[in-house]
Structure 1
Amino acid sequence: MPRLTIGWKLTLWYGAILGISLVVLGAFVFFSLSRSRLAEIDRALEEELAEIELEVRSATSSESRAHALEKYFGEHEFYSIQVSKPDGAILFTSRNVGAEPFPVPRLAADAAEESTDDVLHGGDSPYRMSSRIAESLDGPVIVQAADSLIPYYHERNRLLTVLVAAAPIVIVVAMAGGYWLSRRALAPVDRLTQAALRISASQLDQRVLIPHEKDELARLAAAFNAMLERLETSFTEMRRFTADAAHELRTPLAVLRSETEVALRSPRSPQEYRNVLASQLEEIDRITRLADQLLFLSREDAETTSTSLSPTDVDGMLAAVAEQLEPAAAARMLSLELDDIPSCRVGVDPDRLRRLFVNLLDNAIKYTDEGGTVRVAGDRNNGTVELRVTDNGRGINQHHLPYIFDRFYRADPARRETEGSGLGLAICQAIVSRHHGAIRVDSTLGKGTTVLVSLPAFDSCATD
Structure 2
Amino acid sequence: MTAPRRRSLGRWLGFWIGASTGLSLLVFTATAALVLYLDELRDAAEIDDDDGEPGEEDDDGIEAVEFPTETLLTQVMVAFAIAAPIGLVLAIAGARWLTHRATSRIDAVIAAASRMSAEDLRERLPVTGAGDELDALASALNALFARIDGGIAAQRQFAADASHELRSPLTVLSSTLEVARRRPRSPGEWEGLADQTLDEVRRMSGLVEALLQLARASGAVKRARVELMARLDGPVQRWTEAAGRAEVKLVFAGPEELVAQVDADALEIAIGNLVSNAIAYSPPGGTVTLRMQAEAEALVVTVDDQGPGIPAAERERIFAPFVRATAPTADRTPGRAGLGLGLAITRRIVEGHAGTLAVGEAPGGGARFTIRLTTSRDPGFTVS
Q: TM-score range by the shorter chain?
A: 0.7 to 0.9
Partners of 1:308 and 1:212 in 2: how far apart?
43
Q: How far is the alpha carbon of 1:335 from its aligned partner?
A: 0.8
Question: Structure 1 residue 198 and structure 2 residue 112: aligned?
Answer: no
Letter of the 1:26 counterpart: T
Q: How far is the alpha carbon of 1:344 from its aligned partner?
A: 1.3
Q: How far is the alpha carbon of 1:225 from its aligned partner?
A: 2.5
Q: For residues 194-251 of structure 1, what are the alpha-carbon distances to aligned partners after superposition, in whole Å with 9 as ceiling and x for unaligned?
A: 2222234454334344214222232233223222322232222222212211221121
Partner residue in 2 for 1:231:
148
The alpha-carbon distance between structure 1 residues 11 and 349, as it changes in their structure 2 partners (threshold 3 A), is same
Q: How far is the alpha carbon of 1:337 from its aligned partner?
A: 1.4
Q: What's the C-alpha RMSD, in Å, of the aligned pairs?
A: 3.7
Letter of the 1:11 counterpart: G
Q: How far is the alpha carbon of 1:396 from its aligned partner?
A: 0.5
Unaligned runs of 5+ residues in structure 1 are 46-104, 106-114, 132-140
Q: What is the total number of aligned residue pairs between the two structures? A: 373
Q: For residues 241-266 of structure 1, what are the alpha-carbon distances to aligned partners after superposition, in whole Å with 9 as ceiling and x for unaligned?
A: 12211221121111111212121222
Whether the 8 Å CA contact 1:338–1:377 is kept in 2: the answer is yes
Partners of 2:177 and 2:363 in 1: how far apart?
41
Question: Structure 1 residue 22 and structure 2 residue 12: aligned?
Answer: no
Q: How far is the alpha carbon of 1:448 from its aligned partner?
A: 0.7
2:106 aligned to which of 177, 189, 192 = 189
2:216 aligned to which of 287, 299, 302 = 299
1:432 aligned to which of 333, 350, 356 = 350
Partners of 1:378 and 1:431 in 2: how far apart?
17
Question: Structure 1 residue 160 and structure 2 residue 77: aligned?
Answer: yes
Q: How does 1:253-268 map to 2 (within 5 A)?
A: 253-268=170-185
1:407 aligned to which of 321, 325, 341 = 321
Whether the 8 Å CA contact 2:29–2:76 is kept in 1: the answer is no
Partner residue in 1 for 2:237:
323
Partners of 1:375 and 1:290 in 2: how far apart?
27
Partners of 1:453 and 1:292 in 2: how far apart?
23
Q: How far is the alpha carbon of 1:172 from its aligned partner?
A: 5.8
The alpha-carbon distance between structure 1 residues 145 and 172, as it changes in their structure 2 partners (threshold 3 A), is same
Partner residue in 1 for 2:290:
376
Unaligned runs of 5+ residues in structure 2 are none
Letter of the 2:47 counterpart: T
Q: How far is the alpha carbon of 1:373 from its aligned partner?
A: 0.8
Q: How far is the alpha carbon of 1:403 from its aligned partner?
A: 2.4
Partners of 2:173 and 2:308 in 1: how far apart?
32
1:270 aligned to which of 183, 187, 203 = 187
1:349 aligned to which of 263, 266, 285 = 263
Partner residue in 1 for 2:67:
149
Partners of 1:399 and 1:311 in 2: how far apart?
38
Question: Structure 1 residue 207 and structure 2 residue 210: aligned?
Answer: no
> Secondary structure of 2:289's match?
strand
Q: How does 1:241-252 map to 2 (within 5 A)?
A: 241-252=158-169
Q: RCO (CA 8 Å, sep 6+): is it higher in 1 or 2?
A: 2
Partner residue in 2 for 1:116:
47
Q: For residues 51-99 of structure 1, what are the alpha-carbon distances to aligned partners after superposition, in whole Å with 9 as ceiling and x for unaligned?
A: xxxxxxxxxxxxxxxxxxxxxxxxxxxxxxxxxxxxxxxxxxxxxxxxx
Q: How does 1:72-91 map to 2 (within 5 A)?
A: none
Q: How far is the alpha carbon of 1:333 from its aligned partner?
A: 0.8
Query: Which is higher, the Rg of structure 1 or of structure 2?
Result: 1
Whether the 8 Å CA contact 1:394–1:446 is kept in 2: the answer is no
2:366 aligned to which of 441, 448, 461 = 448
Partners of 1:179 and 1:452 in 2: how far apart?
60
Whether the 8 Å CA contact 1:315–1:344 is kept in 2: the answer is yes
Partners of 2:301 and 2:140 in 1: how far apart?
39
TM-score by length of structure 2 reads 0.82
Identity of aligned residues (%): 32
Letter of the 1:384 counterpart: A
The alpha-carbon distance between structure 1 residues 218 and 385, as it changes in their structure 2 partners (threshold 3 A), is closer
Partner residue in 1 for 2:300:
386
Q: Which moved more, 1:381-390 or 1:308-317?
A: 308-317
Partners of 1:237 and 1:423 in 2: how far apart?
14
